[in-house]
Amino acid sequence: MAAPGQVGDLIAFPRKAFDMGCAGGAGCTSDAQPVHTVMLGGFAIERSEVTQAAYARCLADGECTFTPASFTPGSAPDLPVRGIAWAEADTYCRHVGRCLPTEAEWERAARDLAAGPYPWGATLDCQHADYATCGLGAPVASAALPGGDTPSGVHHMAGNVREWVADCFQADYYAHSPPSDPAGPPCTSTRVLRGGSFRSPADALTAWHREAEDPLHVLDDVGVRCAITLP
């Protein structure tokens, strides 16, 4: 496989080296530096964030849990599930035979082939992403805002809902992370969120932006998408 391609509801990415992190400039934070080359094995990531309909099936199977009363299965099946803690996101992905993407996999998919800081390119407006400036105050359906798709067709890698990844957070991890298939530092008290949400400012929508969060926190702008490792 020489280039990203779609397999069912997944977008596949072949083994490839890419530059991870922020090279500098406006919006660049120290935890996203230094830029470093990562060799990443093949993987595939879900085209869309996990929907309420998909999560409701896991609830019905008795495998998943959901605490907030704001989620009513069947009320908005095409919207992303949100308000799930890290363990709930991990349980869902395992239930469907997948896993949370690593932080490196997530950034590789978000960077894709785009020339610019955002998953689609260099400019940002409300035709690309649902973020704070747009004032919607809620997520949109997975097929909305196609102008914000990555070149390979992954939806909402910026804005809509923030997404849990597998890794634990360490502010200086990029200074000493392994050059091949990094899986994150030893766990302490925080996990990584990626992508920004409908509440996020523009700087949080860049492909390199990282956020640290308590994995036990249940936040109404946090969801998930799953991935698989390719042989």
Q: Is residue 77 part of a domain?
A: no
pLDDT of residue 72: 67
Q: Is residue 71 part of a domain?
A: no
Q: Is residue 58 part of a domain?
A: no
Q: Is residue 170 part of a domain?
A: yes
Q: Is residue 69 part of a domain?
A: no
pLDDT of residue 27: 80
Domain of residue 127 covers 5-50+85-229
Res. 169: pLDDT tops 70: yes
pLDDT of residue 115: 80
Report d(CA 130, CA 198) in Å as an integer: 5
Q: Is residue 66 part of a domain?
A: no
CATH number of the domain residue 45 falls in: 3.90.1580.10
Share of the chain above pLDDT 90, in %: 84
DSSP string, the chain: --S-EEETTEEEE-SEEEEES--SSTT--GGG-S-EEEEE--EEEESSPPBHHHHHHHHHTTS-----TT--TTSSTTSBP-S--HHHHHHHHHHTT-BPPPHHHHHHHHHTT-SSSBTTBS---TTT---GGG---S---TTS-GGGS-TT----SSSSSEEEEEEEP-TTGGGT--SBS---PPPSS-EEEES--TT--GGGGSTT--EEE-TT---TTEE---EEE--
Of the candidate ranges 6-10, 54-58, 165-169, 225-229, the one whose mean pLDDT is the lowest: 6-10
**Model confidence pLDDT, tens digit, residues 4-48:** 655 569 999 999 999 999 988 778 999 999 999 999 999 999 999
The predicted model gives 93-100 an average pLDDT of 98
Q: Is residue 59 part of a domain?
A: no
pLDDT of residue 114: 79
Give the pLDDT band (50/70/90) at residue 62: very high
The predicted model gives 99-128 an average pLDDT of 95
pLDDT of residue 1: 37
Give the pTM.
0.94
Number of domains in the chain: 1
Q: Is residue 73 part of a domain?
A: no
